Chain A
Amino acid sequence: MNLYEHISLNKRKSILLITFFFIIIGFLGYAFGLYLGDAFIGLGFAIIFSTIMTLISFYSGDKLILGMSSAVLADRKKYPHLVNTVEGLAIAAGIPTPKIYVINDSAINAFATGRDPKHASVTVTTGAIQRLKRDELEGVIAHELAHVRNYDIRMMMFVVVLVGIIALLSDFFLRSMIYGRGGRRDMKGSGIIGIIIMLIGLVLAILAPLIAQLIKLAVNRQREFLADSDGALLSRNPDGLANALKKIKNDKEPLVEAANKATAHLFIENPLRNFKSRVNNLFSTHPDITERIKRLESL
């Protein structure tokens, strides 16, 4: 499979994933509506609400994320080396040069966001600029540009928003069931089928946020591995990124202050992780760093 086929596969997968999330959302809305009296109002509300949210995130999610991380545009004069590295690797990747941002933080980290390669940005901490060697920084940037080129940035934006909406809807649903006035007796289709749908809805409301979250994390970990190997292909030097990851691993202060739970999945390595508690499981945003280094070194 060549790169371009790979990218279109990724686009198809995102569509599939988004459709799946929309079906869950639709069903939640339907069951919620049924509970409140009109299933189709619930369905309509859920679909319209999540479509609007998705569109908003599609067009301005990156600005939101950059703002939240207090990232500032990188000045060419101040960071000539960073700008040159991004420009060079963008040429190698065959994408337009993304906007380049800097976060003032001594930890080594970086992330990419945007909706497609034409509207993308790469953000690097000042710690990464100062503490990484040339080829290490190159490896990190190559990893981020791989995310941009593979449309991971778009996929993750959608996934994060939809997972958030599912959590929100489930929460609504469960709260109104617990605190509501015992439900409405006049709900439509309250026959056997109605009750079954309600029950499924209830189970879904409890499980959906968890499942959605797990899917998000699994997808994210998968994309990290892929971006590692694509990045290595781009810079023709897997050791650069491997050494950068080693530096992050051995760093005493790997936490990025401006990062939070909402943005953690974006970074090249989890910016929130306390390396003392090295628990890696279903709930990690990133694959195990040692495993990543091992895979890179075997390339």
Chain B
Amino acid sequence: MVLIANVILWSIVGILALIVLYIVITFNSMIMLRNRVDNAWSQIDVQLKRRYDLIPNLVNTVKGYMKHERGTLTEITKMRSSLISGSMSQKSKASDAISNVLKTIFAVAENYPKLEASENFKMLQEELSGTESKIAFSRQFYNDNIMVLNNKIQQFPSNIIANMLSFKEREFFQTAEGEKKPVKVEF
């Protein structure tokens, strides 16, 4: 009798220990995933800031050539400031709008062979389109991480723990063009 009681007692202790262990591991992995999402978020900011820094260079390089496009250049300079202020959705809207203006500028540049031939312009063009794809890639990375986190929060049995410890699902990053590709600047 004592033996059976002992076995039962220890099995209960064992099962409880396993449950506690599972909760701890799940909790930690959710914390890790959440941090990863936050980190991915800040990656997007880094790229937006980079774009913010590049635009004045571009404007300075092209303004000597593009006499008729003064309006566009002032416009993009104004829009630029919204890349680093406001909420992320505002920033990303601004970023998408800037992509379109940049596309116009690069298309118009074809009419200025001297400008197109300038090393500085070529470099800026490459850097800006590189930054554009980096913005897209950082959004993609962010969404990938969101998906992992949300799966964990929704799937059984980790959803119980997520509920208990009030982990919230996050929203995917949406853009006008979808997640697939940035507008490619190619001539």
Contacts and interface: CB of A to CB of B under 8 A. Distances in A.
Interface in B118-169: 123, 126-127, 129-130, 133-134, 136-138, 140-141, 144-145, 148, 151
A93 B127 CA distance: 20
Interface stretch (B68-76, B105-113, B177-185): B177-185
A237 interface: yes
Interface stretch (A41-49, A80-88, A159-167): A80-88
A84 B130 contact: yes
Contact of B130 (A87, A94, A236, A237): A87
Nearest to A92: B137
Contacts of B129: 84
B40 interface: yes
A88 B130 contact: yes
B140 A80 contact: no
B151 A236 contact: no
B61 interface: no
Given A2-B148, A91-B138, A92-B140, A81 B126 contact: yes
Contacts of B137: 88-89, 91-92
A52 interface: no
B77 interface: no
Interface residues of B, number: 25
A93 B186 CA distance: 24
Given A3-B148, A84-B130, A88-B134, A94 B184 contact: no
B134 A84 contact: yes
A219 B186 CA distance: 39
A145 B137 CA distance: 14
A81 B186 CA distance: 12
A89 B186 CA distance: 19
Given A4-B148, A134-B184, A91 B130 contact: no
A239 to B, nearest CB: 12
B123 A80 contact: yes
Interface in A1-19: 2-4
B82 interface: no
A88 B184 CA distance: 14
Contacts of A91: 43, 47, 134, 137-138, 141
Contacts of B145: 94
A143 to B, nearest CB: 15
Contact of A84 (B40, B133, B140, B181): B133
A234 to B, nearest CB: 8
A134 B144 CA distance: 23
B141 A94 contact: yes
Interface string A91-109: 1111000000000000000
A231 to B, nearest CB: 13
The 5 closest A-B pairs by CB, nearest first: A84-B130, A92-B137, A88-B134, A91-B137, A80-B126
Interface of A: 2-4, 80-81, 84-85, 87-89, 91-94, 134, 236-237
Given A80-B130, A88-B137, A94-B40, 15 more contacts: A4-B148, A80-B126, A81-B126, A84-B126, A84-B134, A85-B130, A88-B130, A88-B133, A92-B137, A93-B141, A94-B36, A94-B141, A94-B144, A134-B184, A236-B180
Interface of B: 36, 40, 43, 47, 123, 126-127, 129-130, 133-134, 136-138, 140-141, 144-145, 148, 151, 179-181, 184, 186
24 contacts: A2-B148, A2-B151, A3-B144, A80-B126, A80-B127, A80-B130, A84-B126, A84-B127, A84-B129, A84-B133, A87-B134, A88-B133, A88-B134, A88-B137, A89-B137, A91-B47, A91-B138, A92-B137, A92-B140, A94-B36, A236-B140, A236-B179, A236-B180, A237-B181
